């Protein structure tokens, strides 16, 4: 693995502290950006079936391996089970599509993307499926649920570990009560919890809970509103961009680092892994090196914690339109 710090997961695997998030990574540039990121030293790539770019990510990985830049075992490849495929009959089907697209025999970490099972739709009908549950539902502007308990889904994923198709399992966008319930019946303990986490949503209680269970927390959208402005998120428009906030700027100036490095270090100093995305080489390097660029004082950590508003920019209930829920 590259000369980057890692966290040891509860199954003994090593996860890089900083990885490259592949959400919103355009398919027409994904292969090149993944390849270039590997050249820069990135080893963790966080993807998902619903991002619609796993085939291109696989091309970038294959190029780097073929050129001898890395071996497969040097990389930590992540994907996620999308909501349409929670039924045990469909879990392996979804993973097989991911593996075929990536051109890999296994992924290192496989998350349940959301604790939100919705109606199964074949991949050949719509890919990526997003929140699609059939033409009739689309015409009525609704999403149909699927009555599948989370534990049933997770147990089907445990079989993927038994088969060697997945090295470890994780949960994404789960709250503590759901994690606690799942742990009561899980045979293979989840190694990671990925959640939206940034100074406007510091998630202190959830982080404390996950860490108490030896589950590694991974933060997405670490820069807060920046990830959601282009999606037209109204809440993102109503707050000061974190990279422009006076508190963050002052700390960055004091340490002679970038504002993004300050925010990422605030997370990693809490023992949290991060997966920022950038298309700029300089920013990619700055993000990758943020874990070593500075150490925040207790007062600086407190100043950043003071920005917390419990402001969540990605809430599935805002866009799921489940019949009878509202």
Q: For 161-180, give the secondary structure using H, E and C.
A: HHCCCECCEEEECCCHHHHH
Distance CA(219)–CA(17), nearest Å, equals 10
Q: Annotated binding site for substrate, which residues?
A: 113
Q: Which residue is associated with the tokens 């290192």?
A: 108
3-class DSSP state for residue 110?
strand
Give the residue numbers marked as catalytic: 51
Segments in the chain forming alpha helices (H): 27-40, 54-66, 88-102, 135-139, 150-162, 176-185, 204-212, 234-237, 246-255, 259-268, 281-288, 290-293, 298-305
Q: Could you tell me if 160 and 166 are in contact, meaning their C-beta atoms sit under 8 angstroms apart?
A: yes
Identify whether the C-beta of residue 189 lies closer than 8 Å to the C-beta of residue 10.
yes
In total, the chain counts a number of residues equal to 326
């Amino acid at each position: 693995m590259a000369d980057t710090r890692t966290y040891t997961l509860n199954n003994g695997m090593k996860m890089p502290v900083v990885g490259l998030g592949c959400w919103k990574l355009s398919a027409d540039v994904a292969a090149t950006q993944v390849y270039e990121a590997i050249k820069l030293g990135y080893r963790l790539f966080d993807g998902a079936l619903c991002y619609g770019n796993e085939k291109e990510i696989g091309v970038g990985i294959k190029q780097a391996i073929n050129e001898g830049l890395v071996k497969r075992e040097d990389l930590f490849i992540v994907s996620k089970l999308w909501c349409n495929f929670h039924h045990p009959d469909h879990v392996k089907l979804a993973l097989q599509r991911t593996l075929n697209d990536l051109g890999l025999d296994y992924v290192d970490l496989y998350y349940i993307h959301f604790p939100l099972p919705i109606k199964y739709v074949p991949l050949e009908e719509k890919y990526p499926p997003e929140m699609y549950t059939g033409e009739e539902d689309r015409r009525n502007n609704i999403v149909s649920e699927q009555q599948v308990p989370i534990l049933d889904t997770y147990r089907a994923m445990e079989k993927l570990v038994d088969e060697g198709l997945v090295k470890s399992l994780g949960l994404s966008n789960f709250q503590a009560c759901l994690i606690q319930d799942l742990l009561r019946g899980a045979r293979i303990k989840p190694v990671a919890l990925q959640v939206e986490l940034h100074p406007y949503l510091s998630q202190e209680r959830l982080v404390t809970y996950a860490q108490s269970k030896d589950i590694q927390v991974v933060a997405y959208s670490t820069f807060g509103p920046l990830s959601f402005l282009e999606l037209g998120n109204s809440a993102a428009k109503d707050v000061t961009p974190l990279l422009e906030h006076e508190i963050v700027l002052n700390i960055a100036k004091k340490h002679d680092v970038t504002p993004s490095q300050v925010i990422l270090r605030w997370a990693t100093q809490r023992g949290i892994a991060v997966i920022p995305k950038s298309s700029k080489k300089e920013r990619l390097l700055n993000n990758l090196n943020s874990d070593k660029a500075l150490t925040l004082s207790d007062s600086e950590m407190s100043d950043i914690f003071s920005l917390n508003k419990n402001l969540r920019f990605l809430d599935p209930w805002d866009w799921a339109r489940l019949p009878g829920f509202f």
